[in-house]
Amino acid sequence: LKFRCGSEFSRGRESLALDDRMQAPPAWVMTTMAKLPPAQQQQVQELLMRVMKDMFLPALATVPAAWALAYVPRFIKLGIIYGRSSTTDSNDRDPRSNPDEFGTSAGLVRRCFACHVNGLESFPAFAAAVLLCKIQKVKPFEAFGLCFRYIAARTLYTICYLSSGNGVMAAVRSIIWIDSILSIFRLYAKALTVSKPAK
């Protein structure tokens, strides 16, 4: 199997041979890559080769992304804490002190902490589901689709949680949270029901 790549793609002359485990990337990827400068084409080509050697890499990459996303509210909270010079010293010694001392920012501080904890609670189950899919050899694109859906849901959940504490937004984020949990369950279902080839 061959596919066109690199700076010669536009002339349709250069191709790379791939072994049976590899699959050519979608045509739109190659078309987009052909429009890049030669140096960037080389970098993208190396990345594509790495991904095509293990098609599960994009799904695995969502695991550290989910972990980092869980800490976004934490860093926002720290920014609020250290942005208030009058409370910096006390909260440096006791970073989980009463958020009421932050005045108008108290509600945001509470939501940041709750969103951070919620992300940490969700992360282990998600990471385990992704690894199980890898072990069970779930189809990479199916696994990545669910992983991407989880990351998208968690991103929207974080935005909704931090933006407002009103009842409407709380209902919306609850629906988004349910969708993220369903994505995890579907990953487990994929892994536990994958059909093994007959030997």
pLDDT in the model for residue 3: 46
pLDDT in the model for residue 106: 79
β-bridge partners, 4: 15
Question: What is the C-alpha to C-alpha distance for residues 70 and 194, in angstroms, rounded to an integer?
Answer: 30
* Maximum distance among all Cα pairs of the chain, rounded to whole angstroms: 69
Torsion region of 188: left, alpha or beta (phi above 0 gives left; psi -120 to 50 gives alpha): alpha
Half-sphere exposure of 140 (CA within 13 A, CB side): 15
pLDDT in the model for residue 2: 45
In angstroms, the Cα distances linking 37 to 9, 29, 62, 106 are: 12, 15, 28, 49
pLDDT in the model for residue 95: 54
Report yes or no: 125 and 63 within 8 Å, Cβ to Cβ. no
In angstroms, the Cα distances linking 23 to 4, 62, 130 are: 12, 21, 21
2-4 and 15-17 beta bridge pairing: antiparallel
Q: Which helix (H) or strand (E) holds 4?
A: strand 2-4
Question: What is the C-alpha to C-alpha distance for residues 142 and 59, in angstroms, rounded to an integer?
Answer: 9
Residues with Cβ < 8 Å from 122, sequence gap 6 or more? 66, 70, 154, 180, 181, 184
Number of C-beta neighbours around residue 94 at 10 A: 9
Report the chain (199 residues): mean pLDDT per 10 consecutive residues: 45 40 61 79 69 77 95 89 58 54 75 93 96 92 94 95 84 94 96 74
Determine if the pTM surpasses 0.95.
Answer: no
68 residue type, one letter: A
